[in-house]
Amino acid sequence: MKKLSLVIIGLLCILSCTETKKDKSQKKPQSAMAQSVGKINELSVVIDNELWKGSLGDTIRKYFGAEVPGLPQVEPLFSMRQMPSTAFSGLARKNRTFIWIRKGKKKSFDLLKNKYATPQLGAVISGTDSEIISQIKEHHETIVSKFKTIETKEKQSRIRKSLEKIPQLQEKLGVKINIPSAYRLAMEEDTFFWIRKDISHGSMNLIVYELPLGTITKDSNTVGSIIKMRDSIGTLKIPAGETGTNKFITEEAYAPYLYETKLAGRFTFETKGTWEIKDRFMSGPFVNYAIEDEKNNRLLVLEGFVFAPSVNKRDNMFELEAIIKTIKFE
């Protein structure tokens, strides 16, 4: 009997040790991971100092510090913070986005999701100088797109913490948009809304309106029809002077950037450029999303624009884009 008891105890000990090993080998659940940190559009670049000063650093700056389209002044896609690999530990590993250059390792390219914190995305690129440069050239569009996606989601998460209630958007236009509480309703009509936020050097603005479905032509004159659309709305709806005689129009000197995308599952024209009020020497960037809502036989237009002379506007425009991308149709 005594021998049997010892055998049973031994078996229980073995099972206990096995379970402990299993628990230790299991991945830490995402809920237990540290929260990522960092400003919006801030990118950590893990690369040794001498490499950062050479051709590798130049390549990284070329593709990840490229000019943001549609802004009146040159601003980079990301604000980059370089650090050597020896410094990439502790809090530094909690940054939401990072690029890790590992020279001398076998050629490879990996995207690491939530490796050290959540939400987080890192691009790890290894190889010789020439191999790393070629991989950056090959994969930079994918990396930038995924970094911007995670940054947009983070911005939207912050926006949701304090929302302004504008039920009229749902009542009159049949849509829901997450508007931060810092914004106020500046103008409301049946199918036109102007929402704005005052900032220290000007204002951030969002307009939402609907037009007939065929307003924008899908041909070689698409950009022209978008300019005509927004200039007519700007002239009619946006007061641009004390007498209202100055026109809020698309800047004539530069052609806007045009893209095709989808919002809320619907085909959308995305246009980026600059607006101007000639007689008052005022101008700034805009982003315009024209969404085809075939179910309701209409074009729903959402536009964000900023007036903030002499200051950077990348992050202002990024906020407006993040707001617009929360749109949901009834």
Mean pLDDT by 10-residue block, N- to C-terminus, for the chain (330 residues)? 45 46 47 89 98 98 96 96 97 97 95 97 98 98 98 98 96 97 96 96 96 93 95 88 72 91 97 89 94 96 95 97 96
Residues 6+ apart with CB under 8 A from 319: 155, 159, 204
Architecture per CATH, 32-159: 2-Layer Sandwich (3.30)
- Torsion angle of the four alpha carbons 172, 177, 180, 183, in this order, in degrees rounded to the nearest 10: -40
Homologous superfamily (CATH) of 163-329 is: Mog1/PsbP, alpha/beta/alpha sandwich (3.40.1000.10)
Q: How far is Cα 136 from Cα 134, in angstroms, rounded to an integer?
A: 5
pLDDT attached to residue 11? 44
Q: How far is Cα 221 from Cα 251, in angstroms, rounded to an integer?
A: 17
pLDDT attached to residue 99? 98
pLDDT attached to residue 75? 97
Burial string for 71-86 (b: 16+ CB within 10 Å, else e) reads bbeebbbbbbebbeee
pLDDT attached to residue 26? 46
Give residue 329's Cα distance to chain centre. Answer: 21
How do the domains of the chain map onto residue ranges? 32-159, 163-329
Q: How far is Cα 320 from Cα 314, in angstroms, rounded to an integer?
A: 10
Cβ-contact 76, 65 below 8 angstroms = yes
